[in-house]
Each structure stands twice: as structure tokens, then as C-alpha cells.
Structure 1
Amino acid sequence: MSSTSMRTLVLAPRGRDGELAVQLLARHDIDASACANGAELLARIADGAGCAIVTEEALGPTVQHQLAHELEGQPAWSDFPLILLASSQAAHHLQRTASALGNVTVIERPIAPDTLITAVRAALRGRCRQYEAGLAIQQRDQFLAMLGHELRTPLGAIVLATELARNDGGRSQLEERLALIARQSKLLARLVDDLLDVARVTTGKIVLRREAVDVDATIAACVEAHEERARARSVALQVVDRSGATIDADPVRLEQVINNLLSNAVKYSPAGGCVQVSSSQRDAWCQIRVRDDGIGIAPEMQGRVFDLFAQVDGSLSRADGGMGVGLTLVDRLVRLHGGWVTVDSAGLGHGSEFIVTLPLGSPDRAQEGPPEPARRPSNVRVALVEDNDDLRDLTASLLEAHGCAVVVAADGAAGAELIVGARPDLALVDIGLPELDGFQVARHVREHVGADVVLVAITGYGREQDREHAAQAGFDAFFTKPLGIDSVREILSSARRRRDRSPA
């Protein structure tokens, strides 16, 4: 907290009211400062303050509107306290009109000094708890981001090693084991992504990239992705009704919602069980239903099933895995889309049904054709800057398998020199590098080479602010680890198209 973050601001323009209030607070060891007008009050609230005392004559329509606008932009953890001093005639009116300002205490004049001091101290205690909550949220997000980074680096090596080994062929038993390793590695990566996404969505840092989405096609793709796992557990997976609906949604996030629901349904269904998926539309809404005949949900848990880290049953959760974040993420992603999700279960042993309701999108956008398939790039010159030895070697092998000529560097300083000297078509740069970090490498390259090289950030840090920093530093694209074959193909196709458009 800054030196002003717990200061009490006073806006009392009549006579010496402001000066006297500041003196009273100072005698009780409360740091306070008078504001000359509403504009100064707003500016100092924006810089950080503990609470504000405002008299009724200062709270005209303009100041009230500006205050409401300023307070609407507070972080999610913040609820700035206001103390309004009003005559008995005005107090009732202010009680109603000040509701738009949020955390407001109205005190009638004339006011006893002890009453004002008590109110201010209570407001400051509450504000202190808010700052503590904000700091805890920041520390949690930093921890989760670091956790994701630390886990993604070895995961990247595991995923690439298994994919390369599978592409090279081998005995059937080896193929089965490698396939298992690949599945488990990707599952662990998805768990990490879910944890990070919960942190992002809780603090409003997820940005939806909306487009026209075919609901039935999305469901079909998700069902196909879970068929192998369902067969392994002897669970039937069926699509029973199709809506033909198109919604305005983020396709990646919609798949995340459906995949989480399908994963739970398959996981908690017994051998011989059945999971049914359907979609329907009515009026301006589309519904997606995922029903299973598995363990069900006890009535007392149905109101808490979307809470963070909630588990349907303690003993079952230990046997079947899961961290209790998937349904929280489903609920919050659906809400971000303007919809809601509910659960229906007759109790333990009677299965459950999750119902996602989303607003329909414009059908006109559904007429847009799919993107042209990417051609296989060849002879792309690539510079790879990665400090993890195993991951650097595996990524280089994967690029070479796709026809690339690859040069490598193990730290930021060497990488910047390599890219400027070699002038490759494409440079893949890790962000967390020694010597110079990836952002510094990108700025150095842009300063000396301009836009001639496609710069791609490869990192375990997947936060929206990291994407923004990468774009500001000069990166053309941003990918999180582990970097799979599909991502490599996408990157190389983009680099090839850009190279082919460039003059010889």
C-alpha cells in the first residue's frame, strides 16, 4: 500500500467544514486531507485512498454521476467506502440516490464527533481488509502463473518426445505406451490450464474472441475427443438431439465448457453406463444438455457444485481424481457468454444432467466459409531461442521434421545476436530467458531488423497481460507451452505465407 492508500479524503465546501473535519480526524491520529472540489476528490480516489467524507451540499448531480462512474471501474476486490453527512431532511433522499455509489454510510447532521470518528475507523478497517484481499488475489495469480510456467516446460518436452517417437513408428506395445504417455501429459496440461483460467476469469482477465459457432459441430468434435476414453470405461457416448443452432461465442471456450461436462459425465458413469448429449433452441436461446446415469449428486450438494474446489463426494473424488475447478470454470465461462448453467439430479445413484443455456447468435455469420487449409511449409529458416536443453533439442527436431533449417541459441543475448545476424524467416523465442528476457530480445530484433522476421513468443506464461506485453514488445504471435505438432504447423504456415508475400 502507498502512503496515501489509507488517507481519509474530505469534501466539505461550505465555510470551514472541511478544515475543521481534517483537524478533528488528526486529533484522533487519522490521516486526512481536504479536497477543494469534486474533480480533486475523484483524482485522489483514483490514486488510492482509505475512505471519503462528503457533505450533502458537495454531492450535486454532476459529482454524483462522476463518482458513480469512477467507482464502477474499481477492481473486483475493491468497494470504496463513502461517508455522507446530511441534514435529517436530506438524509432519506440521499439514502436512495446514493445507492448507485455502492458502499455508502449516511449520517445525519448535527453529528457528534465520536460518531464521525467511529464511522471513519470502521470504514478504514474495511478498506484495509479490501487491500489485503486484493494483495492475496494478486499473489495467488502470480503463484498460479508461475506454477503454470514451471509445469509447462517439462510437459512440453514430454509431449514433443512422445509425438516424435510415435511419428517414427515402432512396435505395437511401444506405440500403446507412448500413446498413454501422450494422453496423460496432455491431460495434465489441461488441468494446469483450468487452474490458470479460473484465476483469469475470477479477476475478469479472460477476453472472449467471439464468432459464429455451429453448436452441433462443436458438440460432435467434443464427443469424438472423448470416445476413446468412454470406450475404455465401457461407457456409451451418444448425441441424441441436434438443434442446428448458431451462437455468437468464443469457440475455444465453448469447447472447454462442453469438454469439462463430458469429462465429468464419463468419469462418474459406471461400466455399462450411458452419457447423452443434446442441443435444442427455443426463442432466443440455445440449450446444451449433458446427461449421465452415474453417481448423481446429493440434494445438499447441488447448490454448491459450481463452487471452487467443491467435490460431489469426498471418497469418490479421491478415487476418480479432479481438483474441483472444472465446474467452477464452466459456470463462469457460460456467464461470460451471457448465459447460465444448472444441474438436475434425483440424488446419489440416480445420475445427473447439466443444462447450459446460451443466447443465440446471428445466423448470417454462420455463412462465412471455413479458413483455407494450411499448406505444409517447407524450407522455412527458423531461429529457436530456448534455455531448456531438452525442450530446445526436441523442438528443433520437430521443426526439422517439417522441412525447416534450424539454428538455436540458449540465452537471450545469444538469441538476439543470432536472429539479427542470420535474418531467419521465423524466430521462436521463449520469454523466460537468462541474460535478456524474450521481450528484450524482441525489442532488439525489431530495432535492428524491423519487420522482416516473424517473431513468435513461446512461453509457459499464458495470462492476457503476458500476451499484451508480447505484442507491445514486437511479437507477431504468442503460444503457450507445451507446443504440439498442430501449433507448429500453424506457426510455420503463417511464416511461409508471409515469406511468399515478401518481395524477392
Structure 2
Amino acid sequence: MSHSEDLLSAWVETVEDYAIILLDTAGNIASWNYGAERLLRHTEAEVLGKPSKIIYTEEDVANGVPEQELNTALATGRARDERWHVRKDRTRFWGFGFLSVLRAEDGTPRGFVKAFRDLTERKRMEDELRRQAEDLRDVDRRRNEFLAMLSHELRNPLSPILNSVYILNNRFGSHDPMIMTTCKTIERQVMSLKRMIDDLLDVSRIAKQKLVLDKRPVALGEILRHAVDDVRPLATERHQELTLRMDATADVLLEADPVRLVQVFVNLLTNAAKFTESGGKIWLTSRLEAAEVVVEVRDSGVGIAPDMLARVFELFTQADHSLSRRQGGLGIGLALVRNLVELHGGLVEVHSDGPGKGSVFVVRLPVLPKKVEAEAVADGDTGAPDAPSRRILIVEDNVDSARSLGLLLELSGHETFVAHDGPTALEMARELRPDVVMLDIGLPGMSGYEVAEVLNRESDALLIAMTGYAEDEKARQAGFQHYLVKPIDRDDLLALLGDGPTAPR
């Protein structure tokens, strides 16, 4: 043995953290350093001449792993070794290292060297992290299921409440100002709760990248006026001055999902109203800058501290928790605003000179090129005459929802019939031949999807899905022409039937 080999052998013997084992060409142990004695708890004398398989688990030995490693090292020069190993007392540890072939000057194999160390603790930590990640995925899955169920269970009772309010206001509101005011208050609070449910579910869908925009050319003025109409009752209740100024941008077209953009500006205006004192002012303004439209929501409210400006769009962030608790809210509205604006290819930012000095939220959105805008206007709907009375079949297992919706539609001159389950609905549809079928998705037994598939084969009726789950892709696949989320907005419904104001979607 040369001097250099003597030095190498001496160094190998002193290594404590790595087990270093020399094997002959048959895979039998020829040398065993101190690190191997510490890790594997055999003395060198106990293992010399024995096959290396004594340090492998029984299952690896049965699967030929020791031989596979030797063959890999012979073929490629080195084999990675990361697996469970066994000590003298048969306890296991996770070993990580390599097996390399040793060759003579003429290339003939002289044996092998196996070097590895104990990484059991790292393996345990990695397994624990994987387990935690799986637990988090399971929690996320159950959370989403809970949110969907919560949405359904909260929306269902809201439907008959809102329908009943519409009916009361229609029948008696014009004769009694107190009834009209009370109905408007209930309607406003129901829709506020509906928006909170929508926001919560939308944040979850965006996080899972499952929120799909239904884009079409839409006028900015239509969006902003709709948002102002939605928020004005809140501003009026708080004695706030809400001003809309569009500076010749009302007819500018955007490629956008109108429902989602209305949601953006309703959230910003609601936020401004909540954090502006009674008697304060809120301005919604818009202007053109090159190929963008810039929309600002400015208020004279409580303002935002400098250290909070960078965080206001984060989920569940509220600048003043005591004030937030008094004003309500979940701390998700601004996070949703940012995500929806970015999905439209835009940007949103916030400015404030500090507490007590108000704030301004700036939304920048791309506008349609002039050529596309002209084509969109040329192809636009010029309006249609009111539709005649429709024969409508309402399929809803909630008796109060079905009855109140029927009454509401009858007040608009339609003829209505009610079924509370799928089979009954199919029998009535075959007999009555309705023009429209309003079909609840979550029917007991035969689901609304299944009923819709049969109706599509047997009838040419307009199918409108009604649901509290707020997911519409499956409804489209089942053949529904329209999709309404509970509680159903009366104007949206009448617009679908052709005898009400045009809804934004």
C-alpha cells in the first residue's frame, strides 16, 4: 500500500459522522470504519467477510436491492443510496449516501466503497411536513365544502324573505310610506348579506383559480351607475353625499364581466361609506388616460395610516379593528377588489395622507380599441318589446321559496305552477308544456341537473337554474340557458323574462 493510501485509510478510520464500508467485488465487507461501528453497532471483526446485505431491510433484500446497487455502480460508476437500513439490534434508520466502484489502473473492478450517514431526523421532518401539507389540503377541501354548504343554507331562507318583501312593497308600499320604507330596509340588508356571501365564496374561488369571468363589451357608465344605485341607499342612511362624475367616459367600452366590475365598485363605495363619518362626502369619478380608463373612489373619511397602505389589499386585513367591528365586514372586500381588477388586466392602488384625511382608491382598466368598440356598438342589442305573459313552472323543494316566487311572478302577469321534486316536475312539464322552467339545483332525490337533462330532450322550454351554491359551470353543461343565484334579484329575473329593466348580465 502506498503512503497516500495509508493516509487515506487513516483518515477514513477517524471519520465519525459517516459510515464508510469497503466491499470486495462480490459485495462482501472488507473494511468498516469507526463511523460504521457507531452507526450500525457492529464491530469490524463481527462483519468482515459477511455480505453487505446484513445492513439492508428484509424487504430490500427480498427485492434484490443490494445486488441492484452493485450493478448500477458497475455500469455508471456510482449508485445513489437513500433508504432505510438496519442496525445490529434490527432497529432502523434512514441512511443517505452513495456506492462507488473502485477500479485498478487497467479499469478492472477492485471492489466498492459505500459511504452514508444517518438522516433519520431529516426524514422524519420531511415526512411530517408532507403529512402537514396533506392535512392542509384536506382542511382546504373541507373548508371549501363548508363554504359551499354555508352559501346554500344561508341563501335558501333569504329567497322567501326577499320575495315576500317584493310582494308586500308591490301590493301596499305605494299606499303606506312606512311599509315602503320598511320593505326597502329589509331588501337592503338582505342584499348586503348576499354580497358578503358572494365575496367570501369568490375569494375562495380565486384562491383555487376557479373564478371564470364572463367578459363582453360593456359601457363604463353602465357599470358605475349600477354600483352607485346599489350603494346610494347606504350613503343616504348615513347622511353622506355620494357624487358620480364620469367626464365623457360613460360610453367608453371595456372588455369585462359586468357583474364582477359592479362588484368591484360596490365594494369600494361600500368601504368608503363605512369609514366615512355621517355627513361626509364620497366621490366616484372617471377619466381617460391613453388606452386606460382611470376610476377613483375618494372619500372624506377616517383615512389610512402610512404603515397600513401596503397591506389594505391583503385578505382579512382591517386598518382599525375597533372601527371595523363597529362598521361590520369580514376584511375580504378589498382583497377581492384587487384580484378581480387584476383578472381584468387592470391595477388598483390606494393613497391617503394619513388618519383623518380621507383616502382614494384608483382603479386602472384597459379600454377596447376604437375599431373593436365601433363593432361592439354596431352589434349591440337595440332593445326588444316586452314579452307576453309566460307559463312558468317553478321546481323548488323549499315550500316558502316556491310559493313566494310564484306570487311575485303572478304580480308581473305570469301564470305559475309549482312542483317540489323532480319526478313531479317532469309529469307537470309533459302535461302543461310551460314556456319557462325555473329549476332548483339541490332537489331531493332526482337533482335539478338530472331533471334538466330530461327536459332538454322532451321540451323546448327556457331552463333557468336556481341555486344557493353559486357555481354555474355544471349548470351550463346540464343544458340550462340561464343561471340565477339565490336570493334572486327581481329585476334580473324580470329582465330574463323580458318584462323588466335590462340587467347587467
* TM-score (normalizing by structure 1): 0.72
Does residue 1:134 correspond to 2:137, yes or no?
yes
Of residues 381, 385, 389, the one that matches 1:371 is: 381
Of residues 323, 330, 336, the one that matches 1:316 is: 323
Of residues 251, 263, 270, the one that matches 1:263 is: 270
Q: Corresponding residue for 1:406?
A: 416
1:257–1:379 distance in 2 versus 1, CA, 3 Å: closer
Q: Corresponding residue for 1:477?
A: 482
- What amino acid is aligned across from residue 136 of structure 2 in structure 1? A
CA distance in 2, matches of 1:13, 1:192: 58
* TM-score (normalizing by structure 2): 0.72
Of residues 484, 487, 494, the one that matches 2:492 is: 487
Q: Corresponding residue for 1:336?
A: 343
1:13–1:149 distance in 2 versus 1, CA, 3 Å: farther
Q: Corresponding residue for 1:239?
A: 244
* Offset at residue 14 of structure 1 (A): 12
1:16-31 equivalence runs, <5 A: 16=72, 24-25=82-83, 27=85
CA distance in 1, matches of 2:417, 2:261: 38
CA deviation vs aligned residue, 1:124-178 (integer Å, no higher than 9, x gap): 5444333323222222221111111111111111111111111113312111111
Q: Corresponding residue for 1:453?
A: 461
State the number of aligned residues: 400
Q: Percent identity?
A: 36
1:364–1:168 distance in 2 versus 1, CA, 3 Å: farther
* Offset at residue 263 of structure 1 (A): 1.0
CA deviation vs aligned residue, 1:307-365 (integer Å, no higher than 9, x gap): 22222211111211111111111011112122222111122111111111223332333
- List runs of 5+ in structure 1 lacking aligned partners: 1-11, 29-82, 88-109, 495-504
CA distance in 2, matches of 1:243, 1:324: 34
1:176–1:117 distance in 2 versus 1, CA, 3 Å: same
- What amino acid is aligned across from residue 480 of structure 2 in structure 1? F
- Preserved CA contact (<8 Å) 1:377 1:402: no
* Offset at residue 426 of structure 1 (A): 1.7
CA distance in 1, matches of 2:222, 2:443: 41
- Preserved CA contact (<8 Å) 2:221 2:246: no
- What amino acid is aligned across from residue 335 of structure 1 in structure 2? E
CA deviation vs aligned residue, 1:452-491 (integer Å, no higher than 9, x gap): 232221111112xxx2222222322221111232232233
Q: Corresponding residue for 2:287?
A: 280
- Preserved CA contact (<8 Å) 2:231 2:270: yes
CA deviation vs aligned residue, 1:49-103 (integer Å, no higher than 9, x gap): xxxxxxxxxxxxxxxxxxxxxxxxxxxxxxxxxx9x9x9xxxxxxxxxxxxxxxx
- Counterpart of 2:387 in 1: which secondary structure? coil
* Offset at residue 112 of structure 1 (A): 5.2
CA distance in 1, matches of 2:139, 2:346: 29
1:100-499 equivalence runs, <5 A: 113-114=116-117, 123-169=126-172, 170-240=175-245, 242=247, 244=249, 245-367=252-374, 368-369=376-377, 370-447=380-457, 449=458, 451-463=459-471, 467-493=472-498
- List runs of 5+ in structure 2 lacking aligned partners: 1-67, 87-95, 101-112, 500-505
- Preserved CA contact (<8 Å) 2:152 2:468: yes
- Preserved CA contact (<8 Å) 1:213 1:366: no
CA distance in 2, matches of 1:111, 1:423: 81
- Preserved CA contact (<8 Å) 1:212 1:363: no
* Offset at residue 416 of structure 1 (A): 2.6
1:406–1:217 distance in 2 versus 1, CA, 3 Å: closer
CA distance in 2, matches of 1:253, 1:13: 59
- Preserved CA contact (<8 Å) 2:167 2:408: yes
CA distance in 1, matches of 2:362, 2:435: 48
Which has the greater radius of gyration? 2
CA distance in 2, matches of 1:427, 1:204: 32
CA deviation vs aligned residue, 1:186-236 (integer Å, no higher than 9, x gap): 111111111111111111111112223333443233234333432332222
* Offset at residue 113 of structure 1 (A): 4.1
* Offset at residue 404 of structure 1 (A): 2.4
- Counterpart of 2:83 in 1: which secondary structure? helix
CA distance in 2, matches of 1:474, 1:177: 39
1:274–1:460 distance in 2 versus 1, CA, 3 Å: same
1:21–1:356 distance in 2 versus 1, CA, 3 Å: farther
- Preserved CA contact (<8 Å) 1:162 1:181: yes
1:493–1:217 distance in 2 versus 1, CA, 3 Å: closer
- What amino acid is aligned across from residue 467 of structure 2 in structure 1? T
